[in-house]
């Protein structure tokens, strides 16, 4: 395939949708994926995808969806793109239905919709509790059709290492690592779309797949692409602990009637229902996580004195649970060894989703010409807190948006980069790996990762404190100073996961420093960013997007205004109906 092919890095919902939109215009695509496309992290999404189709006649509409998205994000999202997403949502769900996604249906044969966090409407289309898998497989089938026509070339088990740029600072391709062979190659392209997903490994154990390393997004950042709102990272209120990672227990469990409780004065206390009588167990995730944290940590009311509360569906008919929640309940039973159909589940909040990401304009182009970003790795749609079931929607919508502008941008014929210049870019990556292979220090990369993850998870998630953040920044510097002393145990030259891990660890350390620096500066509480010292949203001083740039002197933080042209500011409340 020629160097005119547009490169897409990432094979989840955003990347596949972008590939479809580009191929619809007859333009070729080179699709790079860290794993086989059907194993992309989108496959793990459980609950559903939002679209205000109003099948149940509740008075829902795309305008209501838009308003709840903006309010749920605490007014930090630019409003025009968020409105575009909500307006297009019904079209997206109907498109997926035509592609063959097996959405649940009503007895009449209509699409079924469930409630979800931050809304009182039934807006979420779903395929049992494996919606992400069904969407990913449907989009993959469409991409395979273009692959058979010769328009798509897949590079699975390849990891992006860097950005190729010309003398004008335009993105002109990537360098990538073939992980089975450890070969580094350069791929020129008129434009590159990053669809990299989240970066949960920065926090150690999260609900993210272990492939969500945060590395490629930091390579783009170091190459000059601006980052937006890095301090806003969502903590999901209901997950289960494991020795390797956290596993999501979907919000759909609560939308289908699951109740969260713990013991108080010897009796069950349904605290969401008491504190938020309007939205009850479906308050937005940032609020739900803080309440559970307060109940367990501050009030000491975790079940049996431990760090969990109960999520209970034992009062719901088994047949209903199996039909609507079978996938997620199977996960709980497999990893906890208990029957969730008849026993309450033990859950606690866990790091889940990045609202922040690469800064992009309304055409999804980053601050670097020729480099686009879509999906969770862009900052565009969710502001300070994402509403449940808006993630799959934003991934697909961003992929649809980017298709036309990226092809239009690619029409300009630029001279190929000089062979020597491309060779130097490849050699830089090869030399970096050679440095890792020759390292014989006494530090263990996995131990440093564990320390960093624990540090971030314990101190930079639900509750943030400026003095604590100062301490975290200092400890991150100490951890960073140990990186040159890492010793590589596996010297193999094929499929060397440890060598890849060592290089990615340096990127994650940079990501962690950026999150902490931005969080330290924002002295207010907004969405997922909560400081008890500054408990209120401060629109006068902080209604602005955080911008992070990589400079020779380190990370530079600046700000820009938020576009609030479509919906006036208002107080965010969930104890009463709006």
**Active-site amino acid positions:** 285
Q: How many whole angstroms separate alpha carbon 164 and alpha carbon 63?
A: 41
Q: How many whole angstroms separate alpha carbon 357 and alpha carbon 543?
A: 18
Q: How many whole angstroms separate alpha carbon 186 and alpha carbon 509?
A: 26
- Could you tell me the two tokens for 60? 């829902």
Q: How many whole angstroms separate alpha carbon 302 and alpha carbon 298?
A: 10
Task: Please give the span between the terminal C-alpha atoms of the chain, in angstroms, as a whole number.
Answer: 54
- For residue 539, give the H/E element and its range: helix 539-542
- For residue 224, give the H/E element and its range: none
Task: For the chain, state the CA radius of gyration.
Answer: 23
Q: What is the DSSP letter of 112?
A: P
* CB neighbour list of residue 474: distance below 8 Å, 6 or more residues apart: none
Q: How many whole angstroms separate alpha carbon 273 and alpha carbon 269?
A: 9
- CB of 129 within 8 A of CB of 329? yes
Q: Where are the extended beta strands (E) located within 179-258?
A: 183-188, 192-194, 227-228, 233-240, 247-248
Residue 114 bridge partners (DSSP): 124
Q: How many whole angstroms separate alpha carbon 216 and alpha carbon 221?
A: 9
- For residue 229, give the H/E element and its range: none
For residue 78, which phi and psi values (nearest 5 degrees)? -60, 130
Sign of CA dihedral 430, 435, 440, 446: negative
- CB of 519 within 8 A of CB of 469? yes
Residue 194 bridge partners (DSSP): 9, 373
């Amino acid at each position: 395939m020629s160097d005119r092919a547009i490169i897409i890095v990432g094979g989840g919902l955003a990347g596949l949708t972008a590939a479809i939109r580009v191929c619809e215009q007859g333009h070729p695509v080179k699709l790079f994926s860290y794993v086989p496309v059907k194993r992309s992290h989108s496959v793990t999404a459980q609950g559903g995808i939002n679209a205000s189709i109003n099948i149940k006649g509740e008075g829902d509409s795309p305008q209501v969806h838009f308003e709840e998205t903006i309010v749920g994000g605490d007014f930090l999202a630019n409003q025009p793109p968020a409105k575009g997403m909500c307006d297009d949502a019904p079209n997206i769900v109907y498109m997926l239905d035509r592609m063959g996604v097996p959405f649940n249906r009503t007895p009449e044969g209509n699409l079924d919709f469930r409630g979800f966090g931050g809304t009182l409407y039934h807006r979420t289309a779903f395929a049992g509790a494996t919606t992400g898998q069904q969407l990913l497989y449907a989009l993959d089938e469409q991409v395979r059709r273009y692959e058979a026509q010769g328009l798509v070339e897949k590079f699975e088990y390849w990891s992006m290492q860097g950005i190729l740029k010309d003398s004008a600072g335009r993105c002109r391709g990537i360098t990538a690592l073939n992980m089975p062979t450890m070969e580094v190659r350069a791929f020129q392209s008129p434009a590159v779309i990053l669809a990299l997903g989240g970066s949960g490994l920065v926090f150690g154990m999260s609900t993210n797949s272990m492939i969500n390393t945060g590395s490629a997004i930091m390579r783009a950042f170091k190459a000059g692409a601006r980052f937006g709102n890095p301090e806003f990272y969502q903590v999901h209120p209901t997950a289960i602990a494991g020795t390797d990672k956290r596993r999501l227990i979907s919000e759909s469990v609560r939308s289908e009637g699951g109740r969260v409780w713990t013991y108080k004065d010897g009796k069950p206390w349904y605290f969401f229902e008491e504190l938020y009588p309007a939205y009850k167990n479906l308050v937005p995730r940032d609020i739900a996580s803080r309440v559970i944290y307060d109940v367990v940590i501050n009030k000491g009311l975790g079940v049996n004195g431990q760090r969990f509360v109960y999520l209970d569906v034992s009062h719901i008919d088994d047949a209903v649970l199996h039909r609507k929640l079978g996938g997620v309940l199977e996960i709980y039973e497999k990893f906890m060894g208990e029957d969730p159909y008849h026993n309450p589940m033990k859950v606690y909040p866990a790091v889940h989703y990045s609202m922040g990401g690469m800064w992009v304009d309304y055409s999804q182009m980053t601050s670097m010409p020729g480099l686009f970003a879509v999906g969770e790795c862009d900052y565009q749609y969710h502001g300070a807190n994402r509403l449940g079931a808006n993630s799959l929607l934003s991934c697909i919508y961003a992929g649809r948006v980017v298709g036309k502008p990226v092809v239009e941008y690619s029409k300009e014929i630029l001279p190929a980069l000089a062979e020597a210049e491309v060779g130097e870019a490849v050699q830089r990556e090869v030399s970096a790996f050679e440095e890792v292979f020759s390292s014989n220090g006494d530090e263990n990369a996995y131990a440093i990762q564990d320390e960093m993850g624990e540090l971030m998870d314990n101190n930079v998630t639900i509750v943030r404190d400026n003095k604590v953040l100062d301490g975290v920044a200092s400890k991150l510097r100490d951890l960073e100073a140990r990186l040159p002393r890492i010793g590589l145990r596996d010297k193999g030259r094929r499929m060397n996961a440890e060598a890849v891990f060592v290089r990615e660890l340096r990127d994650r350390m940079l990501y962690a420093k950026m999150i902490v620096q931005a969080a330290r500066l924002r002295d207010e509480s907004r969405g997922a960013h909560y400081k008890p010292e500054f408990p209120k949203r401060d629109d006068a001083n902080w209604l602005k997007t955080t911008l992070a740039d990589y400079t020779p002197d380190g990370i530079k933080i600046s700000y820009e205004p938020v576009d609030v042209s479509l919906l006036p500011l208002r107080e965010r409340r969930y104890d009463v109906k709006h």
